[in-house]
Amino acid sequence: MPLPKFRTKKGELTLAGLACGYVDRHIQKNNGIYKQLWMEHEHFHVMYGVEGQKCLLWEVFDDLDTARKFFNKLKTHEKKRHFKRTK
């Protein structure tokens, strides 16, 4: 029996990877803005925020396709808004 693939050709986590507990996370190193996608109890969570602060956005989806489309539309950096870290 072949082993399940955890990543697609694009480098995204597959349903099997998410079901095994892997988290798709991207972070912008210079400003700490991140986005992440994970699966929990048959739902897909997308979180967006600034590292070290409360999240700015947290959405829950019933299917992976909708969650991934939303996740891919989020940018880890924005030119119009500037987020500052509080210490």
The whole-number pLDDT of residue 81 equals 43
pTM of whole model > 0.85? no
Supply 84's token pair. Answer: 């500052």
The whole-number pLDDT of residue 1 equals 61
Contacts of 49 (CB under 8 A, 6+ apart): 33, 34, 55, 56, 57
Instruction: Give me the tens of pLDDT residue by residue for the chain, a chain 87 residues long.
Output: 666 788 888 888 999 999 999 999 888 888 888 999 999 999 999 999 988 888 889 999 999 999 999 999 987 554 444 444 444
The whole-number pLDDT of residue 3 equals 65
The whole-number pLDDT of residue 80 equals 43
